[in-house]
Amino acid sequence: MDMLAPALKGVARELSKSISSGSTIGLGSGSTVAGLMDEIAPLLVAGSKQVNGVPTSTQIELVARRNGIRLVPFSGAVDLCVDGADQVDERMNLLKGGGGALLREKVVMGSAKSVAIVASAKKFVKRLCEKGVRVPVEVVPIARESSKARISLLGGVPEERLLPKGYPYFTENGNMILDTMFEPLDDPVAMESKLKAVPGVAEVGIFTFKPLTVYRLNDDGTFDVLKWRD
């Protein structure tokens, strides 16, 4: 992230200009969003802008509190959702959930009036699941075996996410995650729908929301702004 710090500072300046005082911002999880919060909070203070934050995990809740962002319960809608991504394809579909917060991230992102995704250039690919990156699938514990069987029929190879000592990983919602390998996806929208239809699946790490704006962080300190509207 140190190499990308100048680009992240630039994105923070850009976003801070568009955020109005009184706005409610959905805060995605992960190191990129945490770094962005560290950069953008002082700019909002300098501009006398008071904003509300809706965190999607305990991790980002702590970061937001540290930066003086007022946290509020999720009330069904946010003005802006800021989040990261594990992969971004050429149609700006996303793979998310490496940190385990995919369900809350998708709920909040789906309620947002606008969406801003921030990701390093190395995370951009032609098709999702290239380079062996897996799709996180969040399942209720009782369905972990039945879900594995159904997901396998869709061409996936699911593996339970485990903690370093080999114990099952549980999300903040009390669910398990099946990190699932697929061949690179030609139709992420269809696969998202098929996985969501598996009984016991709570959420899927394929995000196909539109419209959205993606900020691509480059190693040379610059960033690109990419917009997609269906």
Task: Tell me the catalytic residues.
Answer: 105
**Among 119, 116, 105, 124, CA closest to 206:** 105
Residue recorded with tokens 């909040």: 108
Phi, psi (deg, nearest 5) at residue 9: -60, -40
Q: What's the CA gap between 157 and 134, in Å, rounded?
A: 9
My answer on whether omega of the bond before 211 falls inside 30° of 0, hence cis, is: yes
For residue 187, the one-letter residue type is: D
- Angle, helix 31-46 to helix 58-66, in steps of 10 degrees: 30
The edge-to-edge listing of strands for the beta sheet with 87-88 is 87-88, 94-95, 206-207
